[in-house]
Amino acid sequence: MLKSIIKKEILSNLLSYKFSIITILSTILILVSILVMYGDYLLAMDNHDILRKESGEHSEIIPPTPLGIFAKGLDENLCRSWQLKGVGVEISSEQQKSLNDLFKLFTAPDLLYVIKVILSLCAMLFAFDMICGEKETGTLRQSLSYRLKRPILITGKWIGGFTSFILPFFIAVLLGTIFVTLSAMVDMDAQDWTKLGLFILSSVIYLAVFFSLGLLISCLTHRSSTSLVISLFVWTILVFLIPNLGNILARQFVQIPTTQQLDLKRKQIVNRMRFEMKQIPKTRPDYKKRLKELQLRTIKEGDQLDEDYRNRINRLVKVSQSITGLSPAPAFTLLATDIMGTGVAEERKLKKAVQDYKDFCVQLYYIDESVDEESEPPDFHYQRSSVKDILSQGGLSNSLILILLNVLFFSGAYVAFLKYDVR
Amino acid sequence: MLRTIIAKEFLNNILNLRFMIGLVLCLLVTIACIMILAHDYRQEMMDYNARINIQDETLDNYAVAKQYQLIQLLRPQKPPERFRLLIVGIPGNEALGFFDYNPLPILFPPLDFLFIVTIIMSLLAMLFSYDSIAGERQSGTLRLVISNSISRTKVLFGKFIGGSASLLIPFILALLVGVLYVSVNPAIQWDSSAWAELALLTAASITFITLFYLLGLMVSTFSRYSAVSILNCLFLWVLLILVIPNVCPYISAQFRRIPSIKETERREHEIERHSIEAAREYMKESVKEFKFKYGGLFSEFESMEFGGIGSWFCLGKDAEHKHEKAARQRAEADPEFKAMMDAFREEVHKAQDELMRIRRANPVEDDLHRKAVLQTKLAKNMACISPFANFVYVARDLTGTGLRSLEYFEQTKYEYERQARSYSDKKIDNAREKNPALEEDSFLDVSDRPRFVFKEEGLKGKLGKVLPYWGILVLFNVVFFAAAFAGFMRYDVR
């Protein structure tokens, strides 16, 4: 019986106007998004190649990841050329971003955005009238008048409905991925493929959350127009309101100075050091030693400042995550960007690597007496997080949130449907 | 009769579930938003004051007689925008030039008044109007209404006025709560121009909201069933709000490519190197001539260490103070030496002219900016297909929270920096005159430095820039109403 229900659900969806419009919309959007972001990746690679060639003067840079085509996240900021300074780390050219200011105003239309915002809406539109719509047309009463158990009906509806919704998504993503990987400019290794697979898997779980939620709302209402209105408002709250409100709400609990203030504090430390340097008479026999001590103290002070700022940012992210824990959208955003190596965890890892590299250089030039001061510093090497790292860095907890919400909404729909008045 | 239709539409809407949900959502979000952003604004004000204090402290204690460093320390600070408690500035802009930054605004753009109008209100507007024609046809009431002696124009007009009025209630109420909060909060001091900007922002928001109401009405007049109508409405909403504005900058970047800034910098360095080489060659020839013409006298001049060939271009500036002084004293004592020095200076000027000629002929920067302007213009014009983009331009530029305000700040900053440069030039020269032994890293008292005061751009200037985009929003309203009118005139009410 379950098979028949699934088949009926898939067929009725395939023939509906809703299916055509949502399939056309999602396919066009996914393909356009991948094409557009592919172009953006090529531009980023061009820029990286030029910066790489010029990074001889102690500036460092990591290449953009091809996975940024699917989830750009913070990749633009991660791939800027930077330079170690005595106090802090500086971006070597302030003008590495595009001159087109319009990029600042609007969001990057990557696959992550399409899934997070548009496909989640489509998932709800697929599910909002699954139960109450059938009640209105009277088919639900007829179905249940047979020896059909309600748990089988709702499970069949879920499987059939979700399959018909997710199939076009798979086809579009597959087409886009084939196009991208056929390009000679995109070099993806086994790790990248695993990450892309995980990203698609987490997207499916995320979309299932919204599908289950739509089903739950449909089971709680008796008219499809009411279900639609509630679904749209719940979607607005979960996708826009909670994540974006959570971000500004978290700032109420964790005080973060602006980056400009941080920069001014660094400059103040450097200027103070210059003045103190002048106070040490050059004729003193321990001049060099005292100079080094002063420089080391200044570096330490600057590092303390940076560490304090980074700790605050980490706390802010944690608080924001706790506030937005109720919504699947932030959990998915953080999970997807972390998987693709363009998220907060990657950014934190890069900063730690830079700090370690800086500590190493300080040890080399200021503490280790045997090293020649004129010698070139060692190269900076950075490897983006592996799948194992991602899962241990918080990826698991975010996936658990999504799975939990799925179970919660489906159980809710199940319970509501058991008590649903089909008349 | 028109009044009856308006009243019926109005009552019908406000007794509906969507009105209640819309009202509660609008009020809750606006209150939460304004309270949080007002707190944020206070924090940003404190941060701005802290920045000024740090800058003052650094300048008072560690300013030195080196122009470059002094200019760096005098760099002006931007205060938070006065509309910061309604509209958050451009997300992620702060992170641009720094290695350490807050990544959250890039991943989750903050919630503000723009969000309320562009997402909540536009969605609500479409939910109010998607079934106003198709829904009434399905329930049979449209047939009854039309069977009376009432023209279709009046029915459509009544539906528009009654529907829009009921739709605007949640928005106006939410806005009034916001206004009340701003007016009773002692930490927020708004002058008359800020209130005028708020009034204009409200008017622009109403234009935007009615536009989406009319779009829903138009779709409804072309649909037979409300289920189809809502799907079409949501399809258009997704395209106009979520897709077109975000895709346009990327598409324009593909059509009109800008060379990367780093590449431009590299090309500029090449031209700079070439210009220096050319000037150096010119000077080498001149030096040969001078050696031949003046012999020992020129060798004496050379030994005064005016620097290498390259630094001759900045004769008297780059040279060490004591050497410059020695050369001048020698020139005063010996007219022949003076003539040679003047002739040599003339040659240096000629070399400098050659250098500048090559640099001025450099098309790289102009080309880059021209291409960047063309790309931005194309992206902006393409995004104008979406009312969302037009509204964002109007709201941000009107309230000084957009790209234009950044440009305006850059202009005022540039003017201040010019002032600061001439101040530091004078200050260093005066200090050198008083104390010829003054070194570049010696302390310089700059307590009389010019202070940077940022003044918001006038309303007239802002209005001039936003009116075309506002005009497009009005045009959208007219087009959608005309289309709805055409659709309804031929609508089969059976």
Task: Give the pLDDT confidence of B185-213 residue by residue, as tens digits.
Answer: 887 888 888 899 999 999 999 999 999 99
Q: What is the mean pLDDT of chain B?
A: 84
Residue in A95, A100, A267 closest to B376 by CB: A100
For residue A112, give the H/E element and its range. helix A111-113
Give domain status of residue B370, yes or no. no
Domain boundary among B341, B365, B389: B365
- Please state, in angstroms and rounded to a whole number, the distance separating the CA atoms of residues A71 and A195: 11
pLDDT in the model for residue A99: 57
Which chain B residue shows the shortest CA-CA distance from A18? Answer: B231
Residue in A229, A263, A344 closest to B127 by CB: A229
* Residue A204, pLDDT above cutoff 90: yes
Is A261 within 8 Å of chain B by CB?
A: yes
- Taking only residues 321 to 380 of chain A, the set having a beta carbon closer than 8 angstroms to any beta carbon of chain B reads 324, 330, 333-334, 337, 343-344, 347, 351, 354
Residues facing B64 on adjacent strands: B443
Which chain A residue shows the shortest CA-CA distance from B226? Answer: A225
Give domain status of residue B274, yes or no. yes
Which chain A residue shows the shortest CA-CA distance from B19? Answer: A229
Domain boundary among B365, B397, B416: B365
* Number of domains composing chain B: 2
* Residue B308, pLDDT above cutoff 50: no
Residue in B120, B235, B389 closest to A236 by CB: B120
Is A225 in contact with B226 (Cβ distance < 8 A)?
yes
Q: How far is A280 from chain B (nearest CA, A)?
A: 14
Q: Can you tell me whether residue A84 is helix, strand or coil? A: strand
Which range, A17-21, A231-235, A391-395, B242-246, is most confident? Answer: A231-235
Q: Which amino acid is at A293?
A: E
- Please state, in angstroms and rounded to a whole number, the distance separating the CA atoms of residues B33 and A86: 41
- List, edge to edge, every strand of the sheet that includes A89-91: A59-60, A82-84, A89-91
Task: Identify the domain containing residue B328 by its residue range.
Answer: 261-365
Task: Identify the domain containing residue A201 by its residue range.
Answer: 2-418
Q: What is the mean pLDDT of chain A?
A: 85
pLDDT in the model for residue B324: 64
Task: Give the pLDDT confidence of A6-28 residue by residue, as tens digits.
Answer: 998 899 888 888 888 888 888 88
Taking CA atoms, B5 is separated from A28, B8, B17, B152, B362, in Å, by 41, 5, 20, 11, 68
pLDDT in the model for residue A256: 87
Q: Which 3-state string (H, E, C) describes B388-434?
A: HHHHHHHHHHHHCCCHHHHHHHHHHHHHHHHHHHHHHHHHHHHHHHH
| Residue B336 CB neighbours (<10 A) | 10
Q: Where are the beta strands (DSSP E) in B204-301?
A: none
pLDDT in the model for residue B315: 42
Written as one string, the DSSP assignment of B259-299 is --HHHHHHHHHHHHHHHHHHHHHHHHHHHHHHHHHHTHHHH
Q: How far is A167 from chain B (nearest CA, A)?
A: 19
* Number of domains composing chain A: 1
pLDDT in the model for residue B309: 41
Please list every residue in chain A whose beta carbon sits closer than 8 Å to the beta carbon of residue B61.
Answer: 271-272, 275
How is residue A84 written in tokens? 């170690």
pLDDT in the model for residue A337: 92
Give domain status of residue A401, yes or no. yes
The percentage of residues in chain A with a pLDDT greater than 90, rounded to a whole number, is: 23
Residue in B108, B247, B369 closest to A32 by CB: B247
Please list every residue in chain B whose beta carbon sits closer than 8 Å to the beta carbon of residue A77.
Answer: 95, 101, 103, 106
- Please state, in angstroms and rounded to a whole number, the distance separating the CA atoms of residues B397 and B404: 6
Q: Where are the beta strands (DSSP E) in A335-383?
A: none
- Which of B17, B8, B228 lies closest to B138, judged by CA? B228
Residues B34 and B118 grouped into a single domain: yes
Is B234 in contact with A121 (Cβ distance < 8 A)?
yes
Residues B87 and B208 grouped into a single domain: yes
Render the burial of A78-88: b for 16+ CB within 10 Å, e for the rest: bbbbbbbebbb
Residues B78 and B113 grouped into a single domain: yes
**What proportions of chain B, in percent to the nearest 5, are helix, strand and coil?**
75, 0, 20
Is A17 in contact with B254 (Cβ distance < 8 A)?
no
Give domain status of residue B422, yes or no. yes
Is A261 in contact with B54 (Cβ distance < 8 A)?
yes
Is A259 within 8 Å of chain B by CB?
A: yes
How is residue B287 written in tokens? 């030096």
Please list every residue in chain A whose beta carbon sits closer than 8 Å to the beta carbon of residue B235.
Answer: 21, 25
Render the burial of A270-280: b for 16+ CB within 10 Å, e for the rest: bbbbeeeeeeb
- Please state, in angstroms and rounded to a whole number, the distance separating the CA atoms of residues A178 and A183: 9
pLDDT in the model for residue B228: 87
Please list every residue in chain A whose beta carbon sits closer than 8 Å to the beta carbon of residue B116.
Answer: none
How far, rounded to the nearest angstrom, does the alpha carbon of residue B144 sit from its chain's CA centroid? 53
Residues B307 and B395 grouped into a single domain: no
Residues B42 and B145 grouped into a single domain: yes
Please list every residue in chain B whose beta carbon sits closer than 8 Å to the beta carbon of residue A33.
Answer: 247
* Residue B313, pLDDT above cutoff 50: no
Please list every residue in chain B whose beta carbon sits closer than 8 Å to the beta carbon of residue A27.
Answer: none
Residue B66 near residue A64, CB atoms below 8 Å: no
B183 exposure class (CB count in 10 Å sphere: 0-12, 13-18, 19+): exposed
Residue in A50, A102, A265 closest to B380 by CB: A102
Task: Give the pLDDT confidence of B47-76 residue by residue, as tens digits.
Answer: 999 999 999 988 888 888 877 788 888 888
* Residue B493, pLDDT above cutoff 60: yes
Give domain status of residue B494, yes or no. no
pLDDT in the model for residue A188: 85
Read off the pLDDT band of A100 (50, 70, 90).
low
Which chain A residue shows the shortest CA-CA distance from B406? Answer: A101
- Taking only residues 57 to 96 of chain A, the set having a beta carbon closer than 8 angstroms to any beta carbon of chain B reads 73-74, 77, 80-82, 88-91, 93-96
Task: Give the pLDDT confidence of B364-375 residue by residue, as tens digits.
Answer: 767 777 877 888
Residues B300 and B331 grouped into a single domain: yes
Domain boundary among B334, B365, B396: B365
* Residue A58, pLDDT above cutoff 70: no
Q: How far is B41 from chain A (nearest CA, A)?
A: 11
Find the angle CA(A168)-CA(A171)-CA(A175) to the nearest 5 degrees: 140
pLDDT in the model for residue B209: 95
The interface predicted TM-score (ipTM) is 0.82
Residue in B246, B262, B376 closest to A106 by CB: B246
Residues B95 and B163 grouped into a single domain: yes
Is A82 in contact with B99 (Cβ distance < 8 A)?
yes
Read off the pLDDT band of B290 (50, 70, 90).
confident
- Taking only residues 296 to 315 of chain A, the set having a beta carbon closer than 8 angstroms to any beta carbon of chain B reads 306, 309-310, 313
Task: Give the mutation candidate from A244, A315, A350 for the B interface (greatest B CB count, under 10 A).
Answer: A244
pLDDT in the model for residue A98: 57
Task: Give the pLDDT confidence of A369-421 residue by residue, as tens digits.
Answer: 666 666 677 778 888 888 888 877 777 888 999 999 999 999 999 999 988 88
Give domain status of residue A423, yes or no. no
Residues B102 and B179 grouped into a single domain: yes
Residues B191 and B77 grouped into a single domain: yes
Give domain status of residue B371, yes or no. no
Which chain A residue shows the shortest CA-CA distance from B95? Answer: A259
Residues B292 and B392 grouped into a single domain: no
* Residue B300, pLDDT above cutoff 50: yes
pLDDT in the model for residue A412: 94
* Residue A96, pLDDT above cutoff 50: no
- Please state, in angstroms and rounded to a whole number, the distance separating the CA atoms of residues B270 and B460: 44
- Please state, in angstroms and rounded to a whole number, the distance separating the CA atoms of residues B312 and B310: 5
Q: Can you tell me whether residue A256 is helix, strand or coil? A: coil
Comparing B262 with B451, the larger pLDDT belongs to: B451
Phi–psi pair at A60, nearest 5 degrees: -125, 155
